[in-house]
Amino acid sequence: MFPASFEYVRAHSSDEAFAHLQQHGSDARVLAGGQSLIPAMRYRLARPAVLVDINPIKEFSYLREENGFLVIGATTRDAQLEFAPFIKDRYSLITAVSAVVADPIVRHMGTVVGSICHNDPAGDWTATALAMRAVMVVRGPNGTRQVPIDQFLVDSYTTAVNEGEMALEVRIPIPDAHTQGSYQKIERKVGDYATCAAAVQLAMNADGTIRQAGIAITASGPIAMRVAAAESMLVGQRPTLELLKAAAAEAPKIASPNADQRGSSEYKKDMTRVLVGRGLKQALERLGVTA
């Protein structure tokens, strides 16, 4: 189906994009990779009157480490993360997720920042950003501000980006040598929405206790959600199988998945437990720690 008619404006700089967004307010949407927005427009689920294309903004495409953060620009494609050698070497959660987002062709256009801003209930990058405790950088009328991911993700398809504003980048704390992650996803086929998925990242202390835990589930409620109870249960403890089991059992308590052709609500709830458990085990394996 064809999308509804819209006015197309092309931005060549951050200032230009921002001016267009300020001018058009709630009528406008940012067009980055378009891999969620264009299908939504084709189904007429989205009917923005104006699209502000930020793809021509060269300085928006970057992937670099600075001041302790991995910084991903607004038009950086999923595939750039998938194929960057330094990501493969040191970011096990990002490596895992970047190979299972949508499908390989979509990943050449789809962007990380765009996916987080889309805030789909089944988003992979939103769950990853929660587990890695990312911070979003948003440009507003009073300059840029940093928004922790937990505050950024407001509700389904809704973020802390207000009318006339735009997200510039996502900043992800660089995992140290004692940090590993895992992404666990069940999908009926490549490119389908996840039936259920879990993002996990664990950081260890030298004494064998868990320093930090990041656990998030997606396709399990209105947005990707942090399993805070599981995280606090793990921090400061030595990992044992009983502890991992107890932590994983916290996931279904906050899950509220809808029943659909991918499974019943009960099944999906239980899968949050299974996938968080698998993710914790794999992260520990990658750390060389036996639970």
Partner 1 sequence: MNEVNVSMKINGKTVTGSVESRVLLAHFIREQGGLTGTHVGCDSSSCGVCTVLLDGYTPVKSCTMYAVMADGHEITTVESLAVGGKLHPMQQAFWDQHGLQCGYCTPGMMLSSIALLKQNPNPTEHEIREGLSGNLCRCTGYNNIVKAVQQAAQVMNQPELAAAADD
* Interaction site with partner 1 (CB under 8 A): 1-8, 10, 31, 34-35, 38-39, 41-43, 51, 53, 55, 83, 99, 102-106, 108-109, 190-191
Residue 225 CB, shortest distance to partner 1, in Å, is 26
Dist CA 203 CA 211 (whole Å): 5
Of 53 and 120, CB closest to partner 1: 53
Of 3 and 140, CB closest to partner 1: 3
Of 35 and 201, CB closest to partner 1: 35
- Bridge-based pairing of strands 153-155 and 158-159 is antiparallel
Residue 53 CB, shortest distance to partner 1, in Å, is 6
3-state SS string for 106-156 = HHHHCEHHHHHHHCCCCCHHHHHHHHCCCEEEEEECCEEEEEEHHHHEEEC
75: nearest Cα among 100, 52, 56: 56
Residue 32 CB, shortest distance to partner 1, in Å, is 10
Residue 133 CB, shortest distance to partner 1, in Å, is 29
Of 104 and 236, CB closest to partner 1: 104
Of 17 and 276, CB closest to partner 1: 17
Residue 76 CB, shortest distance to partner 1, in Å, is 14
Other CB atoms within 10 Å distance of the CB of residue 206? 7
SS3 179: strand
Residue 54 CB, shortest distance to partner 1, in Å, is 11
Q: Alpha carbon of 160 to those of 26, 49, 286, 287: distances in Å?
A: 14, 21, 34, 35
**For residues 103 and 191, is the Cβ–Cβ distance under 8 A?**
yes
Of 97 and 137, CB closest to partner 1: 97
Which contacts qualify for 102-108: CB closer than 8 Å, 24 or more apart?
102/35, 102/78, 102/191, 103/190, 103/191, 104/79, 106/35, 106/78, 106/191, 107/77, 107/78, 107/79, 107/82, 108/77, 108/78, 108/79
Of 38 and 289, CB closest to partner 1: 38
Other CB atoms within 10 Å distance of the CB of residue 11? 22
Residue 145 CB, shortest distance to partner 1, in Å, is 29
